[in-house]
Amino acid sequence: MLLLTWSALSTVLVGLIIPRLTAADTATSRAQVALDTLQTWYNATSGLWDTCGWWNGANCMTVIADLAAIDPSVSDTANYVFDNTLRMAPAHNPNPGPENQVHSRDGVAANSSEWLDSAYDDDAWWALAWIAAYDVTNDDTYLGLAQGIFSSLTKAWGTRCGGGGLQWSSTSSYINAITNELFLTVAAHLANRASSDSERDTYIGWAQKEWDWFAAQGFIGSNYTINDGLLDNCQNNGQTVWSYNQGVILGGLVELNRAAPNDTYLESANKIAQAAIMTLSDANLVIHDVCEPNCAPDATQFKGIFIRNLHMLHQDSPNDLYKKVIEACANSIWEYDRNYLNQLGVNWAGLVASIDASTHSSALDALVAAVTI
């Protein structure tokens, strides 16, 4: 008779089962699986992701680049997307400039004006996406697109509130936080990728000018959360504390601090990050936006943007709280917010019906952040 004690049996089982589970379910393999799922929405004809919009597409491309930067096994997918999106997506710009009505990209040099849709935040998302593509390819074409987009944004620098800042779009007078946070972060990113000292100083100058202006306006409330924008009289409008508005500024200050070190940048970033976590996380440290579960089509993207930027802050100013938040979000998404097709939803604490390429790519940001935490 073979008598196997429980502990002997579990040793056998552990030996057999655990390695397989580990191989199939690491932070990296989760992100890889979710990348494959994201690409089921990628439309080779449009160079964008079906079920989500133009600016969301920039964020889909960014998260793919961010994964490729830490996992070379996905670089073929990433390079294919950069190349195809560069050629195909401009024809699907929802609001191209008047001079840009005819799109025939094949064989024509990349032109940053094709990525402008008159909403300055949208333009800046594409600048960040091309910077992320540049970071993993070193292809100057991509950096040039971002530089060209930024150059056009500088022409929108305003004079109304405190003599500066950008309004939301060429047709909206709303001065909102996201447009200005994006302007700051694109400038700071470009400073760290400049090819000469004078170019670098120009970008640093814009980033500092934006930050000094931003901090002097009413965007940041007394508890360090950032509201959506300013009233016509330039006061804080008290509108929703969206997660992405607590996020983009973090990456901007991290990049600015890398370009032109000043302790106040990371001090401010840490205050904003901690206020955001206090305000937006649930008892399990999972981040939420108030719109859940009906966040389409824009706010579905926000939380991933927050986590992507919190991860940047954690790299330069590590904090166990940030690590816990990123891991809590990634684990909760994988356990509770994933359907049988490995599609990821809008409520990271639990699966709800609304799933699209935006909810999915946003959740993928958290899975990617968890790979290098």
**Min. distance of Cβ 112 from ligand NAG in angstroms?**
7
Q: DSSP character for 49? A: E
Return the number of the residue (73 or 223) whose C-beta is nearest ligand NAG: 223
Return the number of the residue (113 or 342) whose C-beta is nearest ligand NAG: 113
Return the number of the residue (208 or 300) whose C-beta is nearest ligand NAG: 208
**Min. distance of Cβ 167 from ligand NAG in angstroms?**
22
CA dihedral of 138, 140, 146, 148, whole degrees rounded to 10:
170
Return the number of the residue (245 or 331) whose C-beta is nearest ligand NAG: 245
CA distances from 371 to 29, 331, 349 (A): 9, 11, 20
Residue from 53, 34, 84, 42 nearest 358 by CA: 53
**Min. distance of Cβ 350 from ligand NAG in angstroms?**
22
**Min. distance of Cβ 371 from ligand NAG in angstroms?**
29
What's the gap between Cα 135 and its chain centre?
A: 15
Six token digits for residue 44 = 């080779």
Residue from 278, 312, 276, 292 nearest 355 by CA: 292
Return the number of the residue (56 or 331) whose C-beta is nearest ligand NAG: 56
**Min. distance of Cβ 250 from ligand NAG in angstroms?**
16
d(CA 203, CA 150): 10
**Min. distance of Cβ 141 from ligand NAG in angstroms?**
12
**Min. distance of Cβ 6 from ligand NAG in angstroms?**
48
Q: Which residues here bind ligand NAG, judged by CB under 6 A?
A: 43, 45-46, 50, 92, 99-100, 111, 113, 212, 221, 223, 225, 227, 241, 262, 264, 278-279
Length of the chain: 373
Q: Are residues 49 and 41 in contact, defined by beta-carbon separation less than 8 angstroms? A: yes
Fill in the amino acid letter for 121.
D
d(CA 115, CA 97): 9
Strand runs labelled E in 120-240: none
Cis amide bond preceding 297, omega within 30: yes
Return the number of the residue (93 or 225) whose C-beta is nearest ligand NAG: 225
Return the number of the residue (93 or 362) whose C-beta is nearest ligand NAG: 93
Rg of the chain over CA atoms, in angstroms?
Answer: 21
